[in-house]
Structure 1
């Protein structure tokens, strides 16, 4: 797989994951538990595929430095994205575990935090791509 293909597949998978989180939130607010469950499982699967693609891309193609404008903003987004992506994994596992164990009181407490972090990571992933692909080229 080429670098560009891995980038596009990564963007698609994390995008689908983020959109699935939004759909899951919408449906749980409507009281549609089964549809909510479908979208949250879908989000998890696509997030895992994203991680596999990211690891593969990192092994095959070493990261390039950011040389574009807005370095301070870029590094703020990159570091918050990285830290929250690391935090999101155990949060997601715990949140999903509570749901599958029918521990819905605990699930309801942690799920909004997990969803917020997950969406932040998905959106900032797209922003990082934008910085690296568009602003880095124009430096």
Structure 2
């Protein structure tokens, strides 16, 4: 598998997770609790699949650097860092939100859930932009394996 093919798989997981979360949010606003639960659990599983495949790609294949114009490298890096912070916040909120649901603490779940799904949808949108910038809009930069980079190869 190439870095690019795994990146497409990662993006599919992320977008499917965001789509499932959006559907789940819609369903709960219509009072369809069981359908909401199924959609959100699907979103969580797809999000976990994204995270696992992303980590495995990073460890086994490596990270692809920005291959676009030099004047866009710094803005890209700032955007990437903002996306990474959002992704971390979304993951933590997701765990908290899930925990509330599994413990039947629905008042807390209801209070934090809209924030969680909103941040996850923004994270998915910024992740899509990162993907497009790395693999579609510009030629991908080199992909370097994390261990080779650490060891100086």
Q: Could you state the TM-score of these two structures normalised by the residue count of structure 1?
A: 0.91
1: CA distance, partners of 2:2 / 2:140 = 22
Pair 138,8 (structure 1): closer, same or farther in 2 beyond 3 Å: closer
> 2:146 matched to which residue of 1?
none
| 1:38-117 mapped onto 2 (5 Å cutoff) | 38-69=38-69, 70-117=72-119
> 1:119 matched to which residue of 2?
121
> 2:145 matched to which residue of 1?
none
SS of corresponding position for 2:63 = coil
Q: Any stretches of 5+ residues in structure 2 without a counterpart? A: 142-153
User: Is the 2:101–2:109 Cα contact (8 Å) retained in structure 1?
Assistant: yes
> 2:133 matched to which residue of 1?
131
Q: Any stretches of 5+ residues in structure 1 without a counterpart? A: none
Answer with 46-55 or 79-88: which moved more: 79-88
SS of corresponding position for 2:62 = coil
**Aligned residues between the structures:** 139
Q: After TM superposition, what 4+ stretches of structure 1 lie above 3 angstroms from structure 2? A: 69-73
SS of corresponding position for 2:65 = coil
